[in-house]
Structure 1
Amino acid sequence: MQEPLSRIVRVDKLPRDGETVTIEATPAEREALAGFLKLPSIERLTATLTVRKAARGGARVTGMVRGALTQTCIVSLDPFPATVEEAVDVRFAPPDDDRPRRPGEAPEVVSMIGEDEPDPIIDGKIDLGALAAEFFALGLDPYPRKPEVAFEPPAEPEPEAAATPFAVLRGGKPANDD
């Protein structure tokens, strides 16, 4: 599947001090992403991301993703405006078999404590548009609710006499017509 929002950066072409990329999604990209995320609409999606080279052929992307959108209230099902503002800080690394190593150097052992494992650099490229779309999606409220709407559970029904197999015995023993 093609990404609804794509901006490719080649890691080997990055300047020494990094590069800042500003992304502003086009109306077609916003419409495609809204359809993918099942949103009524995305009015604005921008990202300012700085990409810097890191050790061992890797890269680090930092910045901010902002957006304005319309979500559907889970209580009233009415559309309402919402905003997203998400900080981005992601490490990228080439796959282990592509990473340059000194002769005799063992593969890096990744600790599961602390930072997340780096995302892969694929064919020497990072898709900043896909990264912006990912962080936009992460910033969405999973249970959107209009500010003035409150959930009110349905009233509890009055407890009735429990219908059990023995309820018929409550009426007493029927008369025996012998």
Structure 2
Amino acid sequence: MKPELHRPLSLDHIGPRGLDLTVEANPAECSALAIRMNIAAVLALSCAFHLIRQGRDVVLARGTLRARVTQTCVISLEDFDAPVQETFQVRFVPSEQQSDEIDPEADDEIPFEGNQIDLGELAAEQLGLALDPYPRMPGVEIPAAEDDPEPHPFAALRRLN
């Protein structure tokens, strides 16, 4: 199945000094991403990349994601627009070279097949990671707990002691 934001890039385009490029989502891609992310809307998304070859088949990708999304507040259940900005660094590695070790200090590895990496899918994944899982509209507070809770049915028995 084709990803919502598909921007394949041949490794041959990345020269010895690296490559800078930007991926931008069009309106149809934004709509598809909103469905995938289970949010009200993706209004805009762009991701600037700096790619550096590390050896023949490994690519270090540094990126800055900028997006505007509409999310639903978990408190008021109202939709609101929110900016998203995230910087990240990952490594594209051939799937047969992907490490099985989990190292929280190492860059995340994105496996790929053949001679192409997909910068659009990477941007979509980074958007998913950057979204607040419990979005709260600015200015909305969690309602305070009631000071005078309803009396417990057995409260009168406690007073008999």
How would you bin the TM-score normalised by the shorter chain? Answer: 0.7 to 0.9
Are 2:145 and 1:159 equivalent residues in the alignment?
Answer: no
Structure of larger gyration radius: 1
Indicate the residue corresponding to 1:104 in structure 2. none
The residue matched to 1:5 in structure 2 has which SS? coil
Q: For residue 55 of structure 1, report the CA deviation from its aligned partner.
A: 2.2
Q: For residue 59 of structure 1, report the CA deviation from its aligned partner.
A: 0.6
Q: For residue 50 of structure 1, report the CA deviation from its aligned partner.
A: 1.3
Q: Which amino acid aligns with 1:82?
A: A
Rounded to whole Å, the distance in 2 between the matches of 1:2 and 1:109 is: 26
* Deviations 1:73-93 (CA, angstroms, capped at 9, x unpaired): 001110011011011200111
Are 2:137 and 1:146 equivalent residues in the alignment?
Answer: yes
Q: Which amino acid aligns with 2:138?
A: P
Which of 121, 130, 133 aligns to 1:130? It is 121
Q: Which amino acid aligns with 1:30?
A: C
Contact 2:90–2:108, Cα closer than 8 Å, also in 1: no
Rounded to whole Å, the distance in 2 between the matches of 1:21 and 1:6 is: 14
Rounded to whole Å, the distance in 1 between the matches of 2:100 and 2:121 is: 28
Rounded to whole Å, the distance in 1 between the matches of 2:129 and 2:104 is: 22
Indicate the residue corresponding to 1:86 in structure 2. 86
Rounded to whole Å, the distance in 2 between the matches of 1:63 and 1:34 is: 21
Rounded to whole Å, the distance in 2 between the matches of 1:109 and 1:75 is: 40
Q: Which aligned segments of 4 or more residues in structure 1 are displaced greater than 2 angstroms?
A: 108-114, 153-157
TM-score, length basis structure 1: 0.77
Q: Which amino acid aligns with 1:31?
A: S
Rounded to whole Å, the distance in 2 between the matches of 1:56 and 1:19 is: 15
* Deviations 1:2-47 (CA, angstroms, capped at 9, x unpaired): 2111111111332221211111110000000011111111111011
Q: Which amino acid aligns with 1:89?
A: Q
Specify every segment of 5 or more residues in structure 1 that has no aligned partner in the other structure, as ranges.
Answer: 100-107, 168-178
Rounded to whole Å, the distance in 2 between the matches of 1:78 and 1:9 is: 39
Contact 1:21–1:49, Cα closer than 8 Å, also in 2: yes
Compare the two structures and name the one with the higher strand fraction: 2
Specify every segment of 5 or more residues in structure 2 that has no aligned partner in the other structure, as ranges.
Answer: none
Matched positions, count: 154
Q: Percent same amino acid among aligned pairs?
A: 34
Indicate the residue corresponding to 1:26 in structure 2. 26
The residue matched to 1:150 in structure 2 has which SS? coil
CA RMSD of aligned residues (A): 2.3
